Amino acid sequence: MFIAFGLAMDAFAVSITSGLTIKSLKINNALRIAIFFGLFQAIMPLIGWLAGLSFRDFISGVDHWIAFGLLSIIGCKMIYESSKMELSNKRINPLNVYVLLMLSFATSIDALAVGLSLSFLNVSIALPAIIIGIVTFLLSIFGVYLGNRFGHYFERKIEIIGGLILIGIGIKILIEHLT
C-alpha cells in the first residue's frame, strides 16, 4: 500500500493539474483521466517485472530523463499557451488521447522500476500491480475534482500553475534519481 501511494502521488498531482484546465467537468472526463493513469500505473510494474534483469541497467539509467523530458515539454507548452490565452482560448486538453498517453507514461515510469525491483525479489506481481492501479485510479479521480473545484479561483493562471506543477514533478523525479 505504501508503494502504491508513493507511486500514485505523481499521477495525483497531474490529475489536479488536469482538473484545473477542464472548464465544465463531467464524470466521464474524470473517469477517462483516472482510467489512463490507473491502467498505466498497473501495467508498468508488469512490464518492469517481465523485463527482469536484462534491461535493468538501461531502464534505471534513463527513466528519470524520460519522465523529466516529457513532463517539462508539456509543462512549458502549458506556460507558453497561458501567455497566448487572451489571443486564443486554446489550451492543452488533458482529455486528448495523445496528451493522456504522454502524461500517463511519464508519471508511471517509476512504477516500471518498482516492477523491475519486485522481479529481483521473486515477488509475484499480480497483487501489487492491481493495488497500484486501484490506488492511482482513486487518487486521480479525487485529484481531477479537487483541481477543477479550486481551479476556477485562479482563471488565467491555471495554465501557468499547471505547467509549473508538471515541470516541478519532472525536476523532482530527476533530482531523486541523480542524488
Task: Report pTM.
Answer: 0.72
pLDDT for residue 90 is more than 60: no
Domain tally, the chain: 1
Q: How do residues 26-69 score in pLDDT, each as one tens digit?
A: 999 999 999 999 999 999 999 988 887 576 566 667 767 877 77
Q: Which of 78, 63, 68, 65 is nearest to 164 (CA)?
A: 78
Task: Answer for the pair 46, 115: CB distance below 8 angstroms, yes or no.
Answer: yes
For residue 147, the model assigns a pLDDT of: 86
- Asked whether residue 5 carries a pLDDT value surpassing 70, the answer given is yes
Q: 97-120 and 56-83 are packed helices; what angle lies between their axes, rounded to 10 degrees? A: 150
| Among 34-48, 115-129, 159-173, the least confident range | 159-173
Structural domain span for residue 126? 2-178
Q: Nine-digit cell at 116?
A: 523491475
